[in-house]
A = this chain, B = another copy of it.
């Protein structure tokens, strides 16, 4: 669900909701929030830390309270269960894609703000949690609010964590500027703003990490409409699928993937693919400073060495180095022993074509 930008709001107020006590499995969240914030109004956006949603929903895993191998093993098991796909690992850091589709350190599993004998998992379906809280609040209070469920997240390239949305109801995840024209007549290329992430961030500014302010209210962003907005698609529209993402894997993991691709490069024959120019070949081979002292002549000619089987062994290594260098630059290749090969002289024929038609074995 996206919505075309209206005029920007006149002002927002961001209010902490204090006095929400301990939340445990079965706590009726709507009730404790309404008790703590009887001043809620139609159109308010309720920004709710996922931690209390998870605790109310009983998304807890029992673990040995003392640090040690047993606690680590229980934690690893919980992480494995919450992980759809590993993304990057370094030291104790495990960044994974969860079953929801979010990419988070430790799958969002957290040991803070819970007694030491439990870990807190993310809600199973944070959008459903947001819808339920919204519906419960409407029933209890008559107020029509939007709900954003948040988690605290690290990100590449920038230090420091920020709160982002992992669930939502009654509000569009994205504000759409496509089709708008600026004062100079330019089409806007900045297209979609992740407003529920920005609301999550605004809410975090008045929440505390330790002083029990797990809920904030942003007032003024949505109109005080008489007609309740539909629940909408939740936070799901913010999930970028791995195929369209330029960073689906950590750099170290992707490098290892490239090396595995090198190990298993198909021998050929070449199927499809556009021709490769001499310039492209030269550029690709420029990355090979000196491979076995072999001078390559590609595209039909043979590059021969005469001599012993030991020379042939070295030539074989060089052939594969060459093919890896070509593949790195998007050039597929096939090789075959030359037709003049004999016990005393061996030759190799390497043929090339542009990658693209053939599947990438690294993916």
Q: Give the interface of A toward B (CB within 8 A).
A: 5, 7-16, 88, 90, 93, 95, 97, 102-103, 110-116, 152, 155-164, 173-174, 177, 180-186, 188-195, 197-199, 201-202, 204-213, 218, 221, 237-240, 245-265, 287-289, 291, 308-322, 324-325, 327-329, 335, 337, 341-346, 348, 362
Contact = CB atoms under 8 A, between A and B. Distances in A.
- Which residue among A191, A328, A348 has the maximum number of chain B CB atoms within 10 Å of its CB? A328
A90 B246 contact: yes
A95 to B, nearest CB: 7
B207 A116 contact: no
Contact of A209 (B97, B180, B245): B180
Interface residues of chain A: helix, strand, loop or mixed (majority): mixed
Contacts of A313: 312-313, 315-316, 319, 337, 341, 346, 348
A222 to B, nearest CB: 11
B314 A289 contact: no
A343 B313 CA distance: 11
Given A210-B180, A258-B258, A162 B193 contact: yes
B160 A192 contact: yes
B193 A210 contact: no
Given A161-B194, A182-B210, A246-B252, 18 more contacts: A8-B16, A8-B208, A11-B206, A12-B205, A13-B13, A113-B184, A160-B193, A162-B194, A182-B209, A183-B210, A188-B209, A193-B204, A256-B328, A259-B328, A263-B287, A309-B342, A313-B341, A316-B320
B11 A15 contact: yes
Contact of A10 (B16, B114, B315, B327): B16
- Which residue among A206, A287, A313 has the maximum number of chain B CB atoms within 10 Å of its CB? A313
Closest 6 CB pairs of A and B: A316-B316, A258-B258, A160-B194, A262-B262, A254-B254, A259-B328
A155 B193 CA distance: 12
A211 B263 contact: no
Contacts of A322: 263
Given A263-B287, A321-B320, A325-B263, A210 B188 contact: yes
A218 to B, nearest CB: 8
B157 A202 contact: no
B190 A112 contact: yes
Contact of A12 (B5, B88, B206): B206
A343 B322 CA distance: 25
A304 to B, nearest CB: 11
Nearest to A197: B162
Given A111-B189, A325-B259, A158 B211 contact: no
